[in-house]
Amino acid sequence: MKLCDFCMTHILEETKSTWGKHHESYASLEESAAGGCLICNGLKGAIVPELKKEENQGEWPVYRWSIRCLARIRESPESVVITFRFIPRKTSWEKPINALPTKSFYMFPEEDLQPLPTVAQLSKSTNPTAGSAGQQIRKWFNVCNSTHINCNRRPACAPSEPAFIPTRLIDVTSAPGQPVRVVEKTNLNIDSPYITLSHCWGKDTFVRLLPTTYKQFTEVGVPWDWLTTNFAQAIEVTRFLGIKYIWIDSLCIIQGPNGDWANEAGKMHQVYRNSYCNIAVVDSKDDKGGLYRKRRPDEVLPFSYQAKSESAMFGNRVWKMVAGDLWETELMQTPLYKRGWVFQERMLAPRILHFAEKQILWDCSSLSACETLPAGLPQPLDGVAAPDRHWRGRLQLSSNGDEPLVGEVDDSLDWFWKTAVRIYTSCALTKGSDKLIAMWGIAKLVRDAMGTEYGDGLWEEDLENQLTWRVAECTLDTRPNESQDDDIKRNIPSWSWASMDGVIEIPDKLTNKNYFKVKDHHGRALAFDLVGVKRFAPARPTIQTSPIQTRGMSDSKVELVRRERELHKENETDRGQRTNSPEKIDRNAEPKFHDKSIPIQAYIGRGRLTKNETGRGWILEHKDLAGANIEAFPDTKPAPGNSIDEEPFFVLLSAKQVKGHSEDHNTSSWAVNIVDPIEVTSDEEHNTVQNITIEGNGILMKNTGGDRFRRTGAISFHNVDIESFKNLEKLARKFWLY
């Protein structure tokens, strides 16, 4: 890689200023990018179409750069960062002020990144069977096998007998060019690890295991010339690694209406989690792209810089420059990792070899690296890879049954699940009906760790809050399950986020001591009606809550603590007890329902949606909550003139007490303090009660007949006074959410 004259002169060799403006026109930026400038190439991809037009060239320059030194901190190497930020202007085109993303480029002393390949050492192809690519792969495996303690705590990572064997594998021990046979584990004593493959299928038909080809593929083998480029090259890499078997979905699962996809799909998490390594064909959008890429080493290696004379910032050392978003642009933004199915494959596989456009990248639970940075990503570049790497390791250890999924210093499982859902729902699926099964591998491990039941994307614990997920950007006109397109529609209840397409945001828990939670028709906590989970506890009245201490109450703090404990004991059995069900179930399989409707007992109101004054989002207005602020988050765009959309039903599902007041909770002055009744002293009683309000979450709904409702969105309410809230509670009714 190299830099253009502009970037060299005005940034690296500038001695009078540590900031300035970048190219004066798009044409100038484009010319430098075409010449191979690392910086200009990185910025060009971020330019929106409006700024490329001739009539908008007066808006340039659009980026301002700054350069500064970053001190060495802990494991982080000494570095220099060059940051490019958008220059906001008043424009004639309608775009947000921060229309262009901030871009960063990092420079590190060459000695801190060693070992580094030279232009002469880096091969001109990513084919590992010849040149440096294969040598580097072997080094990564050797280091992982010999020094990565966490990686080797997982049996699948060791080249010995694996703990789990898929139903079928492909035996690759035949001679080059000869057929490769599909083998059944029941017919063969498999004592060797196996490789898995992640790839994009594409739209064209390619070789698959079918009932009609089963006999040939298992007895004679798949003819070599029938294999796609992806499959043939993946088999070559498997042989290079010295592994006997590879698992490829389309050849190891019988496809078609008479196949065994329904049985095998639920085992996918076991298949990838127990593999020796996963090969990811990240840069091919279909079966023909292949793993190997030709390249020019000088265009792939980091840009090398040494100041012409000793510099206060760079001294006389050699520095290497790399883009701060290297991992994102070269890996996470590739065709493969935009696919929903691959999310769990990436998170569950113990090791991954990513075959990308420019180089091969490595991932395990201990190291993320690439051919040009073989010792690992420097800390400033590791922001995206590190969390994935951490949770990959935790998922591996928890699946072994020896370690909990969450360690003492980990983020919570709630945080992990929220992040996983957001990333997963940003990916695409060919078939909407796969929305849940493609996430089951992750959900299964989280379920086992949390000790709560899982159903269609939600957790039974805190279910009333789980139901209030939000669509990040309301862009759809209709719900996918109402679509006429077979690839889009799905039989998933409206209360599940999987019933929608687009990025989903899971809500945080309100507090550990909610003031209010809706109940089911028997006054118990909301629960799923799952096969294999039997509840027999008698119906209990709606759970009691600690009273708000009001003026005139003289109970001591000790008495309030005692009352709180008594209420806690009374409510311990609220959820009901579970026994071993007579229905036999496979806990590795996705949970099944007796009935997917959720019985709820709560007040149902009807309000009017109006556009927020800011032009973004909606407000829900309701006559009995005139002083409240209710933000609405519709799942689909409300149709103008449609009373069902513009005047939706709503239900408040969970709430907490807060102390404070604001005319507009969106202002920076809004302060929320969760009220704990135990901590309210007699001196504070009067003022506290006057200032207590209720806030929480709920959902929008539409009636589908009788007491049947479907979810149409979410709401967040604030500034509800206690009396109004209690009056609504008295109007609770029973209904079913589908």
- Residue 410's alpha-carbon distances to 154, 393, 405, in angstroms, are 19, 12, 9
Give the residue from 515, 392, 496 showing the smallest Cα distance to 454: 496
Asked whether residue 577 carries a pLDDT value surpassing 50, the answer given is no
Largest CA distance in the chain: 90
Q: What backbone torsions phi and psi does residue 495 show, to the nearest 5 degrees? A: -75, -10
Residue 319 structure tokens: 């520095």
pLDDT in tens, 129-182: 988 999 999 999 999 999 998 888 765 555 555 578 999 999 999 999 999 999
- 170-184, 253-267, 593-607: range with lowest mean pLDDT: 253-267
Give dist(CA 235, CA 195) in Å, integer: 9
Q: Mind listing the pLDDT tens digit for each residue in 454-494?
A: 999 999 999 999 999 999 999 999 999 888 888 898 999 99
DSSP secondary-structure letter at 433?
A: G
> 425-447 burial by CB neighbour count: b if 16+ within 10 A, else e?
bebebeebbbbbbbbbbbbbbbb
Q: Give the number of other Cβ atoms within 10 Å of residue 397's Cβ.
A: 18
**In 3D, which of 126, 241, 238, 224 has the Cα closest to residue 176?**
224
Three-class SS of residue 719?
Answer: strand
Average pLDDT over residues 215-240: 98
* pLDDT at position 449: 85
pLDDT of 312: 87
615 Rama class: left (phi>0) / alpha (psi -120 to 50) / beta: left
Q: Which of 185-189, 331-335, 425-429 is least confident?
A: 185-189
Q: Cβ(126)–Cβ(292) under 8 Å?
A: yes
Section 203-210 average pLDDT: 91
- Indicate the pLDDT class of residue 90, thresholds 50, 70 and 90: low
> What is the model's pLDDT at position 209?
97
According to the model, what pLDDT value does residue 162 have? 58
Cα–Cα distance between 621 and 647 in angstroms, integer?
9
pLDDT digits (tens, 9 = 90+) for 34-89: 999 999 999 999 998 888 988 888 889 999 999 999 877 666 678 999 999 999 87
Residue 279 contacts residue 290 (beta carbons within 8 Å): no
Angle at 198 between CA 192 and CA 204, to 5 degrees: 125
Q: Average pLDDT in the 176-202 region?
A: 93
Whether 510 shows a pLDDT value over 80: the answer reads no
Q: What does residue 37 show for φ and ψ, rounded to 5 degrees? A: -70, 125
Q: Residue 581 — very low, low, confident or very high, per pLDDT cuts 50/70/90?
A: very low
**pLDDT of the residue at 735:** 98
pLDDT bracket for residue 564 (50, 70, 90)? very low
| Dihedrals phi, psi of 526, to nearest 5 degrees | -60, 140
Is the pLDDT at 670 greater than 60? The verdict is no
Task: Write the pLDDT tens digit of every residue in 717-735.
Answer: 999 988 888 888 889 999 9
CA distance 136 to 357: 17
Q: Does the pLDDT value for residue 576 go beyond 70? A: no
Average pLDDT, the chain: 85
For the stretch 370-398, pLDDT in tens is 999 999 999 999 999 999 998 888 887 76
**Which pLDDT tens digit goes with each residue over 387-439?**
999 888 888 776 554 455 555 444 578 889 999 999 999 999 989 999 999 99
Note the pLDDT of residue 57. Answer: 87
Q: Which H, E and C letters describe 43-93, residue by residue? A: HHCCCCHHHHCHHHHHHCCCEEEEEEEECCECCECCEEEEEEEECCCCCCC
pLDDT at position 542 over 90: no
CB < 8 Å & 24+ apart, contacts of 306-312: 307/12, 307/13, 308/13, 311/15
Residue 651 has pLDDT above 90, yes or no: yes
Tokens describing residue 344: 């769990």
Compute the distance between CA of residue 164 and CA of residue 166 in angstroms, rounded to an integer: 7
Say how many CA atoms lie within 13 Å of 134 toward its Cβ: 13
Q: What is the pLDDT of residue 513?
A: 66
pTM of the model: 0.84
674-711 pLDDT, tens per residue? 333 333 344 444 444 557 889 999 999 999 999 999 99
Burial of 36 (0-12, 13-18, 19+ CB in 10 A): middle
217 pLDDT more than 60: yes
Check residues 542 and 523 and name the one with the higher pLDDT.
523
